[in-house]
Chains A and B, each alone.
Chain A
Amino acid sequence: MTHPNQSILALYAGQDLGWFTRRRTEHHLSRCRECRGEVQAFASARDNLAALENLPAISWKPLSAEMKANIRLGLAAGECVRGARTPSLLASFVQFSNARAFAACASVMTLVAVGLFLQRPTPSAPAMAASQGSILRATASGIELNQGGETLSLLHVRTGDVTYSAGAQGSMRAGYVDSDTGNVTINNLYVQ
């Protein structure tokens, strides 16, 4: 039996494969326990990265303003320096930097186009759910249902101690005392 290589399995775990390769990999996984284990390991590694999502959101407006200010400063500094150069040298520099700027812009546009292509709409949830199954788990901030790439999480944000319990019928429960209201709140996720 020929096994898919590691990068194919990693992309499969992240649901990043194209339709044809995904189907072919699924077919192989249905018969190969070893590769299923590899996929599970990649999926677990991805889960550990989920904590990184809790990083504070980047405020793009101030960042953009700062970058524009830096560009203006750079241009102003360039104007100051320009006066000291000889005309012939300046002309060749401008020609060279225009070419570089054009090449850079073309590269960036290609990058953005490729990025948009890769972020194309994903297949519909039912189709994915049927092939991937459903997983319920507890995370640092709540409980999560993952179904073919779509996730539904119930979070506990105003609490200290949380109790979790799993139901073999396909449920996950998190119970805690809401520190604002003093009421016990029990979040449940169910999968059929």
Chain B
Amino acid sequence: MSSKLAILWVAAALALSAQEAPLDNSVKINLPADSPLTLISTNLGESHVTQRGSAVVLDLDVSLTLHNSSPNRVRGVTLLVAAQEATPGGKASVSVPSLDVAPSQNFPVRINLRLLRPAQMGSGALVQVNLDGVLFQDYSFYGPNRLDSRRTMTAWEMEAQRDRKYFKSILAARGVEGLKQAMLESLNRQAERPRLDVQVSRGRAVASAAAGDHNARFAFLRFPGEPVEPVDGWAEIAGNEARNPRIDVHNLSTRQVRSVEIDWIVSDRQGKQYMAGSVPASGPEFNLKAGSTSRVLQDTALRISKDGGTPLAISGMTGFVGQVEFADGKVWIPDREELANARLLGVLDPSPEEQRLMDLYRKKGPKALADELNKF
């Protein structure tokens, strides 16, 4: 009997420490008064807050319905999700690129978020959702752009146009059968693409050098017509950790450049290449006037592993210019043909639009894909 009593006590204690609570004012959606998007509905689905001992877990499953109240077609939206009280140095965003929302149309945006934080924090909204930017068909932009979402969404839209143009040219030249073949090639490429687990650390002692650490130099791929060329670059390597990348870039164009993103590929001892990430540079401290040279640098550490946790011994690094944004907001990205010639398509992530088209092909077949391409 005493053991049953003990179980009852422990069960009661655990039940007290894991209580679900209503959401109340845990989530706040803020759209500016002059926003081109209006909020039609907010569905919190199975969202809930759970008290676990001295911590609170918020599981948020929000489905927003937004309305395009502007006269332009919407191509992309970025929402800034802030839980500043719990993660003061961290931010989150949810972007939906590759849209084609006509004026007066509604469209959904989903946010699935989990927040774990101490229970004794303030009583305000746990999560605030704000509009960071809206990109329109003519590349005009609305929003505070706190997350540099104008550049990101413009690049995605340019990639979308580039990839649609590629698949449309195949459709025009070889018909639906040719399109099907091209899609199968894309799907195979993605299935075979080597993937890594990358962990990003900041704020730790990422600059400490120790025995076995060494500086490794980047090898650079160059594309014809690129407005910025990488000149020299290196990073500290210690086993499977790459730290503090520094890359010198030269502006070949006649225009001022606002930001540059260098894509970063690492290779293992067998020479197999993997996409590790990107090294972006932007902001007021990065000033790349026409004909000048500047440095892209980040104080961070990437810890790289593969196959579910096996550390990847980094034996080589390759970089190339993946994106350039000029002072007037225009963006340059590499051609698809140049990426194919450099054998990068099998290493890089597909663009969001290629991802969408592959999904459409997989679910609805080549005819539906051809119809979709013909809409643009």
Contacts and interface: CB of A to CB of B under 8 A. Distances in A.
A6 interface: no
B86 A150 contact: yes
Interface in A89-146: 97, 100-101, 103-105, 107-109, 111-112, 115, 119-122, 124-126, 129-130, 132-138, 142, 145
Interface in B7-49: 7-15, 17-18
A154 B96 contact: no
Contacts of A109: 9
A22 to B, nearest CB: 16
Interface in A138-192: 138, 142, 145, 147, 150-158, 161, 163-172, 175-178, 180-192
B334 interface: no
B6 interface: yes
B87 A145 contact: yes
Given A155-B113, A164-B198, A168-B245, A183 B300 contact: no
Contact of A112 (B9, B94, B115): B9
Given A152-B90, A184-B352, A133 B202 contact: yes
B96 A185 contact: yes
Contact of B89 (A122, A129, A168, A187): A129
Contacts of B5: 71, 101, 104-105, 108
B176 interface: no
Given A60-B15, A153-B113, A104 B3 contact: yes
A168 B98 contact: no
A166 B302 contact: yes
Contacts of A170: 200, 202, 298, 300
A71 B8 contact: yes
Contact of B95 (A44, A63, A155, A185): A185
Contact of B87 (A63, A68, A152): A152
B341 interface: no
A88 interface: no
Given A30-B205, A71-B4, A125-B118, A165 B89 contact: no
Contacts of A155: 112-114
A9 B105 CA distance: 56
Given A137-B200, A190-B147, A108 B6 contact: yes
A70 interface: yes
B1 A97 contact: yes
B6 A104 contact: yes
A83 to B, nearest CB: 18
B197 interface: yes
Interface stretch (B217-225, B249-257, B273-281): B273-281
Contact of A121 (B85, B120, B147, B195): B120
B336 interface: no
Chain B contact residues: over half helix, strand or loop, or mixed?
mixed
Interface in B84-107: 85-99, 107
B15 A152 contact: no
A135 B359 contact: no
B1 A166 contact: no
A147 B115 CA distance: 11
Contacts, number: 256
Contacts of B355: 161, 163, 175-177, 184
Given A101-B2, A121-B54, A183-B108, A190 B280 contact: no
Nearest to B211: A33
A142 B59 CA distance: 13
Given A122-B118, A168-B277, A190-B92, A134 B110 contact: no
A74 interface: yes
B331 interface: no
B15 A100 contact: no
B298 A168 contact: yes
Interface string B55-95: 10000010000000000000000000101011111111111
A97 B2 CA distance: 8
A108 to B, nearest CB: 4
B141 interface: no
B2 A125 contact: no
13 contacts: A33-B208, A67-B7, A74-B1, A74-B4, A122-B118, A125-B118, A130-B203, A133-B204, A137-B198, A172-B198, A183-B99, A191-B203, A192-B91
Interface of A: 30, 33, 36, 44, 48, 60, 63-64, 67-68, 70-71, 74-75, 78, 97, 100-101, 103-105, 107-109, 111-112, 115, 119-122, 124-126, 129-130, 132-138, 142, 145, 147, 150-158, 161, 163-172, 175-178, 180-192
Interface of B: 1-15, 17-18, 53-55, 61, 81, 83, 85-99, 107-121, 147, 190, 195, 197-205, 208, 210, 245, 264, 275-280, 298, 300, 302, 309, 349-350, 352-353, 355-356, 359-360
